Amino acid sequence: SGGTVARPLPGPPAAAALLADAAARAARLASPPHLSIVRLGEDPASVSYVRGKDRKAREVGLHSTVYALPEDTSQADLLALVARLNADPDVNGILVQLPLPAHVSEQAVLHAIDPRKDVDGFHPVNVGELWAGRPVLAPCTPAGIMYMLGHYSIPVAGARAVIVGRSHIVGRPLAAMLLNAHATVTVAHSRTPDLGAVTREADLLFAAVGRVHLVTPDMVKPGATVVDVGINRVVGADGKAHLTGDVHPDVAAVAGALTPVPGGVGPLTIAQLLANTVTAAERQAAARL
């Protein structure tokens, strides 16, 4: 239908609302929630993500400590630090920035974090609680996306949701959250034949793949809400690097609502991390009473 343009769903106002709520909850605690962030090596993306998390934590009145360890830190030394943070009653949340260098087992590290302090929601106990419909600390990107849908009053209950991508960070936990919110959920991935036939069923379409403009207008049901999780670095015609999503811009002529990249779901991840840190602190305070 010529001339229609999808309603844009910008992330920053939703992230601001989530942060304001987290800050208000934090202010009710006896002491500011304390997040400890651990990174190994100097991978530029990891350095930048950790800096962003630390900065935003302080901005909203949380305590934040960053452990920037050398690339060649042994797994034993990293596990010893995690054990020390687990045992420290002054630490409410622990985040080990992924990816880790090849000589460290991510599994071993994620299993070692106390599930009550696991603000990334990657510990198997928290993964299990999420799939059992009892989420406590759940992965930040999908939880932030769910918050954003609520913020913009996008109906989820009864909707047909299709997620493209089945990663442990985004696709899988998002499937659990949408199920918990009473959507009918399909997860498509690299081995799904005729992807367009699947995505055209969606009232809510989520692209979490990491492929530039994989989702084209012909793959979208008219009026659908499309959430673009992809963050792809591309060099434009101007020769400059910029970010673009997994959804082709022309989808705006078909979709009913669309999250932009950049400026879409991106800012929700850090906001949700800080909300998780406050949740962890609240529960730890209640357990001590």
Can you say which residues are annotated as belonging to the binding site for NADP(+)? 165-167, 231
Is 53 among the catalytic positions? yes
Residue 194 near residue 173 (C-beta atoms within 8 A): no
State yes or no: residue 48 binds ligand NAD (CB under 6 A): no
Residue 271 near residue 15 (C-beta atoms within 8 A): yes
Question: 145 Cβ partners below 8 Å, 6+ apart?
Answer: 174, 206, 227, 229, 265, 268
Please, which residue, 135 or 171, has the CB nearer to ligand NAD? 171
Is 246 among the catalytic positions? no
Rule CB under 6 A: which of 229-248 touch ligand NAD? Answer: 229-232
CA of residue 285 relative to chain centroid, distance: 25
Q: How far apart are CA 15 and CA 270, in angstroms?
A: 8
**Site track 51-90 with ligand NAD (rule: CB under 6 A), x = hit:** ----------------------------------------
- Residue of 91, 164, 227, 273 that binds ligand NAD (CB under 6 A): 164
Is 75 among the catalytic positions? no
Closest C-alpha to 161, from 177, 140, 147: 177
89: its two tokens: 């009653």
Closest C-alpha to 232, from 218, 246, 219: 246
Listed ranges 74-82, 90-98, 167-175, 176-184: which one lies at the site for ligand NAD (CB under 6 A): 167-175
Question: Any idea how long the chain is?
Answer: 289
Q: How far is the CB of 1 from ligand NAD (least distance, A)?
A: 27
| Residues engaged in binding ligand NAD (CB under 6 A) | 141, 164-167, 169-171, 188-190, 192, 195, 208-211, 214, 229-232, 265-266, 269
Report the catalytic residues: 53, 97, 120
